[in-house]
Each structure stands twice: as C-alpha cells, then as structure tokens.
Structure 1
Amino acid sequence: MRTATLVLAGLLSLVHVGAGVGAGRRHREALQRQEQIRRRQLDAKTREPPYESSGRRQSRGRFLNENTMQFAVNGSGIPDVDFDVGESYAGSLPISAEPGEESSLFFWFFPTTNQDSGKDILIWLNGGPGCSSLEGLLQENGPFLWQYGTYRPVQNPWSWHTLTNVIWIEQPVGTGFSRGRPTAQNEEDVARQFNGFWRNFVDLFGLHGYKVYISGESYAGMYCSYIASAMLDANDTNYYDVTGLMMYDPSITYDLVQEVLPTAQFVEYWGGLFPFNDTFRQSIRDRDKKCGFSAFIEKHLVFPPKENLPPPRMFPGRLTNGSYAPECADLFGDVLDAAGVLNPCFDVYQIATTCPVLWDVLGFPGSDPYIPHGAKVYFNRTDVKMALHAPLDVAWEVCTDDPPVFVNWTDTSPPPTQHALPRVIDATQNVLIAHGALDMVLMANGTLLALQNMTWGGRLGFQTRPDRPFYVPRSWLSGDSLATSAGAGVFGSFVTERGLTYVGVALAGHMIPQYAPAAAYRQLEYLLGRVDCLNCTVPFTTDGQPPPQSLDPLGAGTAPQGWSDDSLI
C-alpha cells in the first residue's frame, strides 16, 4: 500500500512497457508454445473470439486479422471482471526487428470506442523506474478500475479509450511482463529500444500515419520526454508522428529541486496535514533558513524569471567541501518520519490519506507490499496471465528493481528540461504538464522551479503566473456509481505560453487520473484538440446529454501555485 513506511523504499512512481513485431524464430516458437498451453487450459467461454464475447453479438474487431488474432483478448473473459471490456489486444513484442532479438516489451492496446476519433493513438507510461503501466490501466485511466480498498472491478466512464486509441506499455526492459536482460544505461537507450518496439507495433496493427500522443507520470517524465524527442529526430511521420505530450507530476529535474528544496514551504502551506508540535515545526523553519532553501525558491520562483538557476554544485545546503550538510540533505526524510509517527498511514503520494491501510490488488509498493492473508496480486495470477497472453513464468510486480531497469541502478541522462523537453515543446506546440497539489513525492513548487529554469520558444520560463482557473465540467458520466464519482468546478490553476501548458490540480495527489479522473479527462480532451480551452464551461465531448454548466464568473484559479513569498506561507 501507499503508506509512508512502505513508500520510503521507492519514492518515485510508476512505469510502462513496449515491444515489436519481427520476433525472430526462437521468440515466435516460445510464444507459440505458451499459446498451446493456454489453449489447452482455457475453458470454452474464454476461447470465444473477442467479437462474440458479450451477450449481444458485436461487430468484428476493427484491428482483428490473421496477424493480430494471437494478441486478441476476450473482453468478457477477464478474471473477476463481470462485464465486457470490449475489443483489446495484449502480449509481447520485441524491441527490434533483428532476427533472434530476445528482449520484448508487454502491451495492452484498447481501440477507441469514440466514433469521432480520427487516426490518432495515445501511449501511456508509468514511471519508477521499474514500475508497470498496468497500474495506470487498472487504477487510473483504463476501461475498468480496481482501486485499492474496493471490492471488485468496475467500469470506468473516464477511460481514455473513450476519446482515442490507447496503449499501455510496460517498459523499459525488466519492467512487469517485459522479457530480456536490461541493458539501458540512459534515456537514449530507453528511447531507442522503445522506438524499435513501436515500429513493430505499428506494422502489426497497421497504424502507419497515425498521430502519436505520449503521456505518463512520475519518472515517466524522463521516459516520455526522451522518447518523444527521439521520435521527432527520426523524421518519419509514417511511424513517429508525435503530435502532443502530456505528463503528470513528472520527474524533469534533479531530485533535490523537486523533493528537498520545497519541503519547508510545503509543510507550512499544508500545516493542518502536518500537525507537528511547536518545537519540531520551529526546527524545520530553522533548518530551512540555515540551508537557504526557501530563500533560494523566493529568488528564482518568480514570473517572469530573472535568471537561470546556478549549476547543481552551487545549490543551497552544501558545505564548503561541496558535500551536503546532513541537516539539509535529511530535511525531507525527517519530515516524512515525523509525519509517519503522527499518522502511521501517511501517504507521501497523497498527503491527506489517513488509516486504515487499504489492500491494493496491485501489491503496491513492489518492494514491501501489504498483502492480506488469502489475497493475491492481480497481475501475478495464472488465470490473468493466460487471459492477457502474458508470460506464465514471469513473477509480475508492480515495481521492480531486481534486476534494475538501468545498468547499476543509474540513469546517466541529464534532466529533460535541458534539451529533450524544450525540443518537444517547440516542435509540437502541444505539451501539457499537470501537478497534483497534495503530492509530496515530487512537489509542485519544485516542478515550477524547474520550468522557470527552462528555455523554450526562445524565452526563459513562464512570463505570467499560473493563476487562470482550470474548470472541470459536471457530467452524467459519474452519476451512476460512487465508485467512479469525480469532482467538478474550478479545480485548479493554469498558464499557457509558447506551446506549453502547466496545470496545478487541486485535491489531487501524485496520480492525477486516479485522484481527479474528470480533471485528467478534460486535459486529454484539450491535448487532443477536442476542446480549445481549459477555463471554459463547455461540456465534455463524450456527454450525450450534458448537464447545465455554471454561468457564474469563475474567478481565479484555486490550486496553490508558486509559494514563493511569505504571504503565501
């Protein structure tokens, strides 16, 4: 579960995988052997083709043919899911077309149900590094949801496949059901392997010429930025027509900037959720002042920015010999420890969480999961693996570091703000970064500080403060079940300049599509060009009979943004 004591083992979040088509003889034979085992064990219902899987006979799958049949998932044969999830395809594809390629990525692809969608597809990646994108599918933006603490899966009215074709990919090699020996040393290696998989996937499903949108969260801020940049560098729109990028609470700079520097300001702003005694609270303030963290933020987190940040070796909190003073480097961890004493179920991913600990069918976090007696991790069940054409001999974990997905546990690439992310912004003019206000894994002030130190469109940072109201329409979509209810109204703040949009999302933790699904849905509509504003009250494009929208003035945005002066602390 997402408690403080369990989360400290692996703070950055979740990942995703991919693979390719020209498998090589040994790879194909291995898949054929697994398929033979599967067919002998599945019952008649599970063997029904996906286009005959519901009570009413459906039309033939849009992407079903002789080549894709082996990947077709029976929409009504998914264990514990008592409804038809529709057409989908899952399985493994290699990371290159080279004969004998043994490394592969695992995917689950859902064609869109939206009649108005054109030739476009969205890639979803979680982070980690080493965490599975199936987490995103099952608990964030997939066709069915099994949230932690809930009894069984439910249909998701906020599924992103109701807007566009979506593929959830477990990557890099070593993540989830992906196969092979991890060899990546940096993001360039990750992007090269991913794009090899992507060519194979496009060839298999005939997606040539499709517009490609890339989205992800947490450490996928690294993945998404570099993969999108590499796709653009390929200059091949037949396979890599990158049209937009959207990232949630992303890793885009040094951990010190997004985790440590904003700690004291974050604790002050959310004081009611950190009910420390006076002496400990004062010690946080004293250490912050001595280390110079808030002063550093107040100098640099301004709109427009006055200057670039100094190089990391000159960040505050260092001793004269260049190492970090312990009272500075340990401030973030000491606050988490103290919060965990007051609230044993403190959740660094969403700081408003309290006890009890809720069972998570994903077994999160992977390094030290809370698994009640008799419970099983969903994607590690044999029946689930068989239904998804997943390798039966892989012990699936939501997050893994054994072996690490990067050689020696180290990603040697610089932060994407230095080159990859500006490259994507300038090329697409369609990048959105959103950050949950209740996330302490990566804090909003750190993300804004990183953006104010990034040059794109010929200028440094945002010129104006992100204070325009981000509006989420009310909808009939969530009216049937409390299990899929979602908030509406003015739900945060945003700014858009030179092709980049930043959105601060109120009442959301690290995984915005999980905590604020309607907000994420609206952001995806904006990314896809289905709506042209984030502060207008037009209904969702998928609402058949939209409820009346607010005619009242929206006022200013509501998510805390840029806590860089005393009046906001």
Structure 2
Amino acid sequence: MRYPHAALFAAASFFSLSVAAPFASHNKRSLVEREGIIYDVFEHAVTGSTIEYVKDSGICETTAGVRQYSGYLSVGDNMNMFFWFFEARQNPSNAPLAMWFNGGPGCSGLIGLFQENGPCKFELGNTFPMNNTFSFNNYANMLYIDQPIGVGFSYGNNTVNSTVTAAPYVWNLLQAFYAAFPEYTSRDFGMFTESYGGHFGPEFVRYIQEQNAAGKGEHVNIVALGINNGWYDSEIQELSYIPYSYNNTYKQLIDKKQYDELMLSYTDDCLPDLRRCQGSASDLDCGNADRVCYAVIDNTIYQAAPSFDVYDIRAAVDNPEPPKNYLDYLDDPAIKKAIGARTTYQECPDGPFDKFQRTGDGARSFLAQLGEVVSSGLSVLIWAGDADWICNWPGNYDVANVINYPGRSAFAGKDLVPYTVNGVERGEFKTQDNLSFLRVYEAGHLVMYYQPELALQVFKQTMSKAAITST
C-alpha cells in the first residue's frame, strides 16, 4: 500500500548493524516461555541475531500436513521483526522460497497474507478466515514479514528512515532464517511486493546481489522479483496521475480545463523540484519535492474529483473491499498468543512512514536500481491492476518502457497483447527477455484480491525463471 499523503491518513554494511547480544561461537537452540507463550529459540552465531518462534499454530493455514512458523527475529538492539512462514502445500521439500512484504512505506506484510495471496482470506461479514484456493503457497514456501520495525507486530527501536537503510535488516532476517532453517538455503528465492515496494523491491534485491558478490553471508539464490502497482519514479508517475484522472476506462475525475491546469502545474512546479531532488539527493530538496508535488497534483485532484477510493477508482472512499475483518481477528488475544505475537497489531502506523517522509524518500527514484536488477538476468514482473489510481497502470507502464537493460528498445517497441488465463482474457501484456509487464483488468491496488487465479498463474510463471505467457 502507498499512502496518499500523511495529511490524509547510504546503508550500513551488515556487519555494522547493532545486535542484541555478543557473537557466540556456535549456533544454539533452546525453548523459552514469554507471557505464557512457548517459543523455540535459535541463536545465530554469525550475526548475534535470535529467532523466537512458535510452530504449527493452526492459524490461517489449515491444510493437513502443511507446517507453519511465526514469531520474531532480532535484527538489532531491541529491534524485533515479526515473520510468518508457511510451507508449500505441494512438495515443500523441493519447492522454491518466496518473500512477501507490503509497501507504505510502513505497512504490514500481513495485508498481503490476509487480503491478497496467503493461505486464508476473509469475505465481507466473516468473523473467521476461510481457505484461499489460490494462495501463493500452493506453489512456493512463503515468508511474510512486517518491516520496518514498528509495523504490524514488529516492535522496538526503529532506526530505518529510508529505503536504503531498510535493506540491510531484510537481508539480516533472511540470513538468520537460512541459519535456523538450512533446508531452504539452496532453493530458488523470489521477492514479491507492491506499491512502495517499487522502491523496496529494486533496492532490496540490489543489496542482496551486492552481498552475494562480496561473498558475505549465505548466498541467496535469488531468481525473481515481482512488483504490482509499484511506486518507482515520481517524475514519471506524478505526471501519470493527470491523464489517468482525465481518461481511464472507469471514471472521469477531472475535465479538460482541469487537465490543462494540472499539466502546467506539473511542468512549472512539480517537475523542477523533482529534478532538484535527483540532482542534490538531499533530504531537504527531496522532502520539498514530495510536498510540492502532492500539493499541486495529488491534492488538487482529490479536491476537484468526486469522491473516489484512491486504491480502486470504481469505488467511493468508504469502499468495504478488500474487507478489513482480519484486523479484529488479529486483535484477539487468543490469536496473538497462538502465533507468538507480543504487541498490538498496527497495519500502517504513522511513525515509520513519518521517518521516510522526513528524508524525502518517496521523491527519490529507484529506476536505476530496477535497471540493475533487470540487467542482472532475474525474471522481473511489473504488473498493475487497472482500477488503481494511487500507483496507476499507465505510470507503471511508462516506467517499464524506460528500464535501462539490454532489451530496452525491443521491449519499448512492442505493443500490449491479450493475456489469458485458461483461455479467458484477463489483461494485456508484453515481454522481452527476462522482463514482463502486465496490465490486469478489473483490479484495484491489491491485485491478488481481485484476480486471484491470474495472480497465482503469473506468480508461478515468474518464479519459474521465465517471462509470463498466456494459458
């Protein structure tokens, strides 16, 4: 999820991270009781990190024989990152490993778990979750994380104030996870995210590849990156708000006069500040660019347009979908105890978001990092629900067409063609080498909620180290 705006609602190396305890000479395993919860404890000698988790809670995943683990990883001094892991429903001993986290910046990965691609889901009016037939763990072992600290069930000191400073902690978590569960170290690994994941995804993958190249830690066999409705580059995507608001397939939000005025505001006010941010990379300039562009583009459209949900242009601001039932569910003390959660769940708290805003992180472009990742040969999927406004599909498409990689010219020169699922057209797409772009019909910001069958198909295809194809 990407915040519309707060008013409305260089990284340290891994070995310089502060840790909860001095390094030990050997990994240690034990049991500990905290607040009536029995945790398995794994102390990672190399990093000094500790994983405390509960096994097979029976929450969310009810498929017989499918194991799950949930709990905390200490990624620094009083920095407790919550994770929830589900085995693959089919062939878990050989299935790949994939990580999911949401955007924000500062939104919980459990949004994706309960509202998009996890083993269970809620329907409107339901008190308890039901099985998700199209869960991503049909195919892969899935690891969901709440990052940065202060998000979801994660708690403690939060020193992360930018995409770049967030990356080492995610790598730290993955390293300790591998140490605790070594059977996953050799697996193909994929990273999937959305929204502000357009920042997180490229930088986190780039950081992992940098650590791999330096021979640091356990090698991460990363093969895929998938980002839906991402926020990558403000210069491209602030502009895309204007034509999308004027002419889309669902609802006209502004008239021609407003369109012309907004185009002038973009050129005269927003764009110069964005370019100043890119030139200086200072917190002051980037923060100012974020504020100015919000004021003259985003907020102007909010004020001019009829009531609409920025995450699904087809709906009003009080849109009940995807259902929020899971929030009450996770507030139940019995559920929290079962999964080993030690704090109150916060879906998208202001604190972590505010830290990113103060550094102007949202205005910084991660298009260059995305180009590095695509050029490295990973299977990369850029996809977007076409009813989303906040990270709309034309902006994502324009980003995809300028990614700097060897196949750029060929990719940009192709037209979109129908994408089918079992012979039914559900979107339009194009591919070149290892890069795929997909527009998903009749889907809002959380694509997997609206088109779950399509979502599972493209997830499997991308994790298979190939460009997506129709079926």
* TM-score range for the pair, normalised by the shorter chain length: 0.7 to 0.9
CA distance 1:444–1:407, shift in 2 (3 Å)? closer
How large is the RMSD of aligned CA atoms in angstroms? 4.1
Is the contact between residue 51 and residue 73 of structure 2 (CA under 8 Å) also seen in structure 1? no
Tell whether 2:385 aligns with 1:436. yes
2:236 to 243, 257, 261: 257
2:370 maps to 1:417:
no
AA in 2 matched with 1:425: V
**Within the alignment, does 1:268 sit opposite 2:246 as a pair?**
yes
Counterpart in the other structure of 2:333: 382
Return 5+ residue gaps in structure 1 as ranges: 13-19, 40-46, 50-66, 298-308, 316-321, 365-375, 475-488, 538-569
CA distance, structure 2, for counterparts of residue 209 and residue 509 of structure 1: 35
Could you say which structure has the higher strand fraction? 2
Residue 166 to residue 10, structure 1, CA distance change in 2 (3 Å): farther
Asked if the contact 1:362–1:379 (Cα under 8 Å) also holds between the matched residues in 2, the reply is no
Provide the residue aligned with 1:502 in structure 2.
437
Shift of 1:379: 1.9
Q: State which drifts further: 354-363 or 442-451.
A: 354-363
Residue number among 260, 268, 287 corresponding to 2:261 in the alignment: 287
Match of 2:311 among 319, 329, 349: 349
The change in CA–CA distance for 1:149 and 1:510 in structure 2 (over 3 A counts) is farther
The aligned counterpart of 2:88 is 112
Closer, same or farther: CA 196–323 of 1 in aligned 2, 3 Å: closer
> How far apart in 2 are the matches of 1:469 and 1:379?
39
- Identity rate of aligned residues, in percent? 23
C-alpha contact (below 8 Å) 1:455/1:461 kept by paired residues: no
Post-superposition offset of 1:150: 4.2
Deviation, structure 1 residue 168:
0.5
Match of 2:200 in 1: 223
* Cα 1:471/1:384, change in 2 over 3 Å: same
Find the aligned partners of 2:428 and 2:194 in 1 and give their Cα distance. Answer: 19
The whole-number CA distance in structure 2 between the counterparts of 1:496 and 1:359 is: 31
State the match for 1:178 in structure 2: 154
What is the one-letter code of the residue matched to 1:285? Y
Q: Which residue of 2 aligns with 1:516?
A: 451
Letter in 1 for 2:313: I
Q: How far 1:433 moved relative to its partner?
A: 0.7
CA distance in 1, matches of 2:289, 2:225: 36
Cα displacement string for residues 542-564 of structure 1 (whole angstroms, at most 9, x for unaligned residues): xxxxxxxxxxxxxxxxxxxxxxx
Greater percentage in helix: 2
| 1: CA distance, partners of 2:196 / 2:293 | 26
Q: Which residue of 2 aligns with 1:554?
A: none
Residues 89, 110 of structure 1: 8 Å contact kept: yes
C-alpha distance in structure 1 between counterparts of 2:291 and 2:89, whole Å: 55
Q: 2:207 and 2:344 mapped to 1: Cα distance?
A: 31
Q: Is there any run of 5+ residues in structure 2 with no aligned partner, and where?
A: 10-16, 23-27, 41-49, 279-287
2:470 is aligned to 536
Aligned equivalents of 1:95, 1:125: Cα separation in 2: 16
1:193-342 mapped onto 2 (5 Å cutoff): 193-206=169-182, 207-235=184-212, 236=215, 238-254=218-234, 256-258=235-237, 260-270=238-248, 273-274=251-252, 281-288=255-262, 290-291=264-265, 312-313=275-276, 329-339=295-305, 342=306
SS at match of 1:130: coil
Q: How many residues align?
A: 433
Q: Quick one: which amino acid aligns to residue 257 of structure 1? A: I
Distance 1:242 1:310, change over 3 A: farther
**Does the 8 A contact of 1:378 with 1:384 survive in 2?**
yes
Matched to 2:470, the amino acid is: C
- In the alignment, is the contact (CA less than 8 A) between 1:284 and 1:331 conserved in 2? no
CA distance in 1, matches of 2:200, 2:233: 13
SS of 2:412's equivalent?
A: coil
Quote how far apart the aligned CAs of 1:468 are. Answer: 1.9
Q: Is the 8 A contact 1:264 1:284 kept in 2?
A: no
Q: 1:11 to 1:423 in 2, by over 3 A?
A: farther
Matched residues in 2 for 1:328 and 1:153: separation? 37
Distance 1:327 1:241 in 2: 39
The separation in 2 between residues aligned to 1:74 and 1:314, in whole angstroms, is 47
Distance in 1 (alpha carbons) for counterparts of 2:350 and 2:131: 32
Distance in 1, Cα, partners of 2:75 & 2:173: 4
Which deviations, in whole Å up to 9, do the C-alpha atoms of 1:50-107 show, x marking residues without a partner? xxxxxxxxxxxxxxxxx999520321xx39x9886942100001115xxxx3212110
Q: Is the 2:242–2:263 Cα contact (8 Å) retained in structure 1?
A: no
